[in-house]
């Protein structure tokens, strides 16, 4: 479905010395450097898959998405989606994709939302009867009816995002690109949007590529993760693979009556944890810590804790994907 | 053919959207209309004061000068009315990365940008231009036959493209420099020279407005033929040729520019 092969994007950047003097100097003697935003990335996505595309800010996620959607022309390498090259046959290609950039909107700002859909209908040449069916379907999934007559500028962020997603789906695209679709939304709206994405993926076998900083999005939606950092691919695989490969981390949670449990236990010194192998959060009586279980086995950790203080409740679980990814963002590929 | 039909349909829908948009803010719209009428009246008054002081200009009678002035406003106004959105490209659409949305739609990007907005203020130029031409034509006498007036009308769309072409080329520069509003402005403002007979300027300016930024082709040269029947090949051929070349070059630069477009971080 989607083949990305050694995709690369370089930008020229003008370097200016600080201040007005620097700006004036750069008019006459511009110094440019080459910035490699995306460095020979390759991956594939199968039809009907939901791919979580993640990475820290500035890793090159948006640049990749923009190359895949035909907005940016790659410096080298290629991407083929549905057998089509986005930049060579752009107009033909974009008929088959839907794009949502969470930070921007493609809705007609000053007009009632309904007007946006009627214009997009013409732009994508959707026939009347399929348009009606499609609007009914989108309304059912995204619940647009309550605000479809309101001018777009009056919509809340959550409504606008739902409206934008509906706009990107109007022409029944085969591939849907979502760049941070849940940014700035409350939990209920996030949940709505996730369910809508899942439903559409289920119903229509729409392939979805999703970038987000909300790892819950990834955990609930994505079948697979591609993670990039500094323009290169650092992980490609399923969430469970990510967990088994990098997730020797466990979370230990307990409640205690002892005052200052963290000081009494002093895990760092007792087990010789390195700083990134242990993370402790203590709040009143409850203590939550995540630790690398390949350094200290869970059983040792438990018996040490139980032997040292009085514990009223205790549980151990697999590390949250968030913990893993936080570590990966911090260290790049050298885990 | 089918494609052309759908392009017209999209154009019509965009214009309808624009009118709905204006109606959405009724107060602003009404004040805009009042302001626009006041500007037009003061413009006409100003013109009348100027032209009533000059009986003739280097062999051009007042009526001829007013005709050249009025005729120059019509294609300028048409371009301004329909294709004003190019200014936005030069000023902020590219710089802020808002150009992304055009690239994700199955419509030619230049066409989409051109027809997306209309500029109602431009009706002033068009109406003033038509009024001045209509007032002067009866006074210009025997030389003006119906054939020449037809030629004049046929010429208008081509001359409009001279404006649109120059704006397209200068707006496209923004794809490389991120911002080209002032470049568009500088080139566009050269058209002020085109409102008067080119012979009143020195050779240097004449050459520039004939061959480099050819705004003299938008009114003065066509008027030489329409009013005096002079050298039809040069006076009619050159504006048509310039329109085709400028617009063609504009389309070329635009599409080259898209490949250099860098969007903006999000």
CATH topology for the A2-243 domain: Rossmann fold (3.40.50)
Query: How high is the pLDDT of residue A333?
Result: 47
Beta bridge pairs of residue A100: A178
Cβ of B106 within 8 Å of Cβ of A123? The answer is yes
Q: For the residues A124-151, what does the mean pLDDT come to? A: 94
Query: Cα distance from A289 to chain B (closest Cα, Å)?
Result: 34
| Mean of pLDDT values over B97-115 | 94
B10 and A124 within 8 Å at the Cβ level: the answer is no
pLDDT band at B73 (very low <50, low <70, confident <90, very high): very high
Chain B residue with CA closest to A58: the answer is: B265
Cα distance from A260 to chain B (closest Cα, Å)?
Answer: 44
- What mean pLDDT do residues B59-72 have? 89
Residue numbers in B near A91 (CB within 8 A): 106-108
Q: How many residues does chain A have?
A: 335
Classify A43 as helix, strand or coil: strand
Residue A237, min C-alpha distance to chain B (Å):
26
Give me the residue from A92, A94, A108 closest to B105, CB to CB.
A94
Q: Is B76 left (phi over 0), alpha (psi -120 to 50) or beta?
A: alpha
The minimum CA-CA distance between A188 and chain B, rounded to whole Å, is: 24
Q: What is the pLDDT of residue A287?
A: 87
Please indicate whether, in this complex, the C-beta atoms of A103 and B266 are within 8 angstroms of each other. Answer: yes
Nearest alpha-carbon partner for B75 in B258, B265, B253, B239:
B239
Q: Pick the more confident residue, B211 or A249.
A: B211
B28 touches chain A (CB under 8 A): no
Q: Looking at residue A247, what is its pLDDT? A: 64
Interchain pair A104, B263: CB under 8 A: no
What residues of chain B lie within 8 A of the CB of A183, using their CB?
Answer: none
* Average pLDDT score over residue span A307-322: 81
Token couple for A319: 């590390």
Per CB-CB distance under 8 Å, the chain B contacts of A119 are 13-14, 17
Long-range contacts of B190-194 (CB under 8 A, 24+ apart): B190/B215, B191/B72, B191/B76, B191/B163, B191/B215, B191/B218, B194/B72, B194/B218, B194/B219, B194/B220
Interface test with A, best of B105, B116, B255 (most A CBs within 10 A): B105
Give the mean pLDDT of A209-224.
89
The CATH class of the A248-318 domain is alpha beta
pLDDT in tens, A36-83: 999 999 999 999 999 999 888 888 899 999 999 999 999 999 999 999
- The three-class DSSP label of residue A201 is helix
Query: What per-residue confidence (pLDDT) applies to A162?
Result: 94
What would the mean pLDDT of A186-212 be, rounded to a whole number?
93
Kindly provide the residue ranges of all beta strands, DSSP E only, lying in A88-231, ordered along the sequence.
97-101, 175-179, 207-211, 224-229
Collapsed DSSP state (helix, strand, coil) of residue A83: coil
Q: What is the pLDDT of residue A159?
A: 94
- Tell me what percent of the residues of chain B surpass a pLDDT of 90: 62
Tokens, residue B63? 């009526």
Range with the lowest mean pLDDT among A3-12, A219-228, A284-293, B188-197? Answer: A284-293
Q: Torsion angle, CA of A71/A74/A80/A81, rounded to 10 degrees?
A: -20
Predicted pLDDT at A331:
64
Inspect the interface and report whether the beta carbons of B104 and A103 lie closer than 8 Å. no
Query: What does the DSSP 8-state code read for residue B94?
Result: T
When CB atoms are compared, the residue of B6, B104, B259 closest to A99 is: B104
Give pLDDT, residue A335: 42
Tell me how far apart the alpha carbons of residues B78 and B213 are, in angstroms, rounded to a whole number. 19
Could you tell me which residues come within 8 angstroms of residue A95 by beta carbon, excluding any fewer than 6 positions away? A124, A171, A173, B106
Model-level ipTM above the cut of 0.90: no
List the domain boundaries for chain A. Answer: 2-243, 248-318
Which residues, in sequence order, are CB contacts of B120 under 8 Å at separation 6+?
B22, B32, B36, B81
List pLDDT tens digits, range B154-166.
999 999 999 999 9
User: Does residue A319 surpass a pLDDT of 50?
Assistant: yes
pLDDT above 90: residue B168: yes
pLDDT band at residue A332 under the 50/70/90 scheme: low
At residue B44 the predicted structure's pLDDT band, cuts being 50, 70 and 90, is: confident
B41-64 mean pLDDT: 83
Residue of B nearest to A109 (CA): B21
- What count of residues does chain B have? 266
Residue B171 reports pLDDT greater than 90: yes
Contact call for B9 and A103, based on CB within 8 A: no
Three-state DSSP at A49 gives coil
pLDDT of res. A306: 87
Alpha helix (H) residue ranges in chain B: 2-24, 26-53, 62-82, 86-88, 100-103, 109-116, 123-136, 146-172, 174-177, 181-189, 203-207, 220-228, 232-260
The reply to whether B55 touches chain A by the CB within 8 Å rule is: no
Which tokens is B265 given? 């971080």
pLDDT band at B266 (very low <50, low <70, confident <90, very high): low
Q: How buried is residue B95: exposed, middle or buried, by Cβ count under 10 Å (0-12/13-18/19+)?
A: middle
| Over residues A253-275, mean pLDDT | 83
Measure CB to CB from residue B100 to each of A73, A101, A119 and give the nearest one. Answer: A101
Q: Does residue B235 register a pLDDT over 80?
A: yes
B101 contact residues in A (CB cutoff 8 A):
104, 106
Query: What pLDDT does B169 receive?
Result: 97
């Amino acid at each position: 479905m989607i083949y990305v092969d050694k995709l690369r994007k370089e930008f020229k950047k003008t370097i200016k010395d600080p201040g007005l003097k620097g700006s004036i100097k750069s008019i006459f003697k511009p110094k440019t450097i080459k910035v490699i935003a995306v460095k020979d990335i390759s991956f594939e996505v199968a039809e009907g898959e939901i791919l979580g595309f993640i990475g820290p800010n500035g890793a090159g996620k948006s640049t990749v998405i923009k190359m895949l959607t035909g907005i940016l022309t790659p410096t080298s390498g290629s991407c083929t989606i549905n057998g089509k090259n986005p930049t060579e046959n752009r107009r033909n290609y974009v008929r088959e994709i839907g794009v949502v950039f969470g930070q921007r909107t493609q809705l007609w700002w000053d007009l009632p939302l309904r007007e946006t859909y009627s214009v997009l209908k013409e732009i994508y040449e959707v026939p009347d009867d399929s348009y009606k069916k499609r609007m009914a379907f989108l309304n059912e999934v995204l619940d647009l009816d309550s605000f479809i007559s309101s001018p777009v500028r009056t919509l809340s962020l959550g409504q606008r995002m739902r409206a934008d997603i509906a706009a990107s789906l109007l022409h029944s695209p085969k591939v849907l690109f979502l760049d941070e679709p849940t940014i700035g939304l409350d939990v209920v709206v996030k949940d709505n949007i996730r369910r809508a994405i899942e439903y559409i993926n289920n119903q229509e076998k729409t392939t979805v590529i999703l970038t987000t900083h909300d790892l819950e999005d990834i955990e609930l939606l994505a079948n697979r993760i591609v993670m990039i950092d500094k323009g290169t691919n650092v992980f490609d695989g399923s969430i469970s693979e990510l967990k088994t490969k990098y997730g020797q981390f466990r979370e230990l949670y307990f409640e205690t009556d002892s005052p200052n449990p963290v000081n009494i236990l002093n895990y760092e010194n007792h087990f010789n944890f390195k700083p990134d192998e242990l993370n402790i959060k203590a709040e009143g009586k409850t203590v939550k810590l995540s630790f690398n279980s390949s350094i200290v086995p869970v059983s040792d950790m438990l018996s040490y804790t139980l032997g040292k203080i009085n514990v009223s409740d205790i549980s151990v679980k697999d590390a949250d994907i968030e913990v893993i990814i936080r570590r990966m963002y911090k260290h790049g590929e050298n885990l | 053919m089918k494609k052309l039909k759908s392009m017209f349909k999209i154009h019509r829908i965009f214009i309808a959207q624009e009118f709905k948009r204006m109606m959405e803010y009724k107060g602003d719209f009404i004040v805009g209309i009042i302001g626009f009428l006041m500007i037009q009246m003061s413009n006409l008054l100003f013109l009348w004061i100027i032209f009533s002081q000059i009986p003739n200009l280097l062999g051009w009678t007042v009526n001829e000068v007013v005709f050249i002035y009025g005729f120059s406003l019509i294609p300028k106004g048409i371009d301004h009315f329909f294709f004003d959105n190019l200014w936005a490209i030069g000023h902020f659409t590219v710089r802020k990365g808002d150009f992304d949305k055009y690239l994700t739609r199955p419509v030619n990007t230049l066409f989409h940008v051109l027809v997306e907005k209309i500029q109602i203020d431009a009706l002033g130029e068009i109406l003033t231009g038509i009024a001045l031409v209509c007032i002067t034509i009866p006074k210009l006498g025997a030389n003006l036959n119906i054939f020449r007036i037809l030629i004049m009308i046929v010429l208008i769309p081509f001359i409009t493209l001279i404006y649109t072409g120059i704006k397209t080329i200068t707006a496209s520069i923004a794809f490389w420099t991120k911002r080209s509003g002032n470049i568009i402005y500088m080139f566009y403002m050269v058209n002020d020279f085109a409102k008067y007979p080119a012979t009143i300027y020195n050779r240097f300016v004449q050459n520039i407005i004939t061959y480099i930024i050819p705004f003299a082709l938008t009114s003065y040269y066509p008027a030489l033929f329409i009013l005096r029947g002079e050298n039809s090949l040069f006076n009619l051929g050159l504006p048509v040729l310039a329109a085709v070349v400028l617009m063609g070059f504009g389309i070329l630069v635009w599409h080259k520019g898209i490949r250099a477009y860098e969007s903006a971080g999000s």
